[in-house]
Structure 1
Amino acid sequence: MNAGAGTQGRRPCIAVLGGSFDPVHHGHVALARLFAELLQPDQLRILPAGRPWQKQSLQASDDDRVAMLELAFAHATPPIAPPVTVDRQEIARSAGGAPTYSVDTLRALRAELGEEASIVFVMGADQLQRLDTWRDWRDLFGLANLGVATRPGYDLAQEKLPPMVAQELSARLATPDAVRDSAHGKVCLAQTLAVDISASRIRAALQSVTKANFGADLNALVTTQVLDYIQQHNLYKN
């Protein structure tokens, strides 16, 4: 199966946002929206991790994480323009307990979408600091483009990045249009995201709130629908 024709005859473009989403929060939605606006992709795929090898065990179940993702993106305000799909392929691959790797996911996506599609793997700048620890990290550029959200003023030359990563990225920097029209190998730095939220911070806050003030301090971090789901299913209390 390939990706089909892109918008207005352009190369088909699929933006891919992976993560643990334990739980999904406003920062994730803002990151997805940022690249949806910059790239105008034909599709946005959200890929919840199966068994991320660099993280501790996930607290919410796979089904709960998927349900929260569906709620967060269905109720995103304003709505995100391209169709949003929650892709469970990493969850399926990890069913036997094996760890999952981004490079394997991108290989599967490339096989599914075809050689001509522009695949843009979206991440935050913090992930660049450990990119060289990822399995087959250089192979990522032969499979996809990267869309990296950075804080204003971010400079590859001045950040504490592994030298090999900084060198690899600097040779591939491109505009959003160039990334959108390339199948793989280019990097777009978007210096407009100023959201500082972490899932660990949310989990810690959820463990300290009571039923009476549930959500009072969390609405700025998580959508109402996701908070309601967390409360109804008694998640993150242990």
Structure 2
Amino acid sequence: MNIILLENDTTSDHFEAQLNPSAHRHCIEVLRPQVGHSLKVGVYGGKLGLGTVIEHTETRTVLDVTLSERPPSKEPICLVLALPRPKMLRRILSASIELGVEAIHIINSYRVEKSYWQSPYLKPDAVDRTILTALEQAGDTVPPSLRWHKGFKPFAEDILPGLARSYPNAWLGDHRVQSSLNTNRSDEPRLIAIGPEGGFIPYEIDLLQKAGLTPVNLGARIMRVETAVSALLGKLIA
């Protein structure tokens, strides 16, 4: 981790905080600070700063925290992703958070295995751990907006049109078309929808287009979903 994320119920920028067991263990095993050392910290959803170690024993670590910096700004990118294999999703979420994606919508699709939705990797505690670890890696404190949609049609008809209006560039990955993705660097909000292994079926593509998404070809090579997402985000952010 590159920062230690803290929970803080106060609005003060100066307070004392005892590290949770996971962060304390990281201090014991990796950081090995001494009293008086400063560690990079942040408050979940809030500012960044430094925590001076005022107590460090085998049982607990206590910091004197001063917050002074805003977290890094998010990239104006919305990722709409058909639920992939849950282990793969965990890696995609981590990469997307580290790259600063501002919004992620996980959706159902005809080719998504129904069993994926029951995976323990999708339980709230597991997802929260993935988000926390990625934020600490990225030196960020603010998670992306993350929403789950088990019904494809309600999402495509009721939610996606509003999203498409909010993102001037709204694309749908579709290997059947010739037009390619315009990856010129832009500060305009961008939305990209990525289908499951095997792609969206024609019925789904039709609904996504009606919602305002423009089909684009993502390249001649057939990639795994996580490879496609990382490659696309790299192009959009570079």
TM band (smaller chain): 0.3 to 0.5
Query: Larger helix proportion, structure 1 or 2?
Result: 1
Q: Report the TM-score when normalising by structure 2.
A: 0.37
- Give the alignment's TM-score, normalised by structure 1: 0.37
Give 1 or 2 for the bigger CA radius of gyration. 2
More strand by share: 2
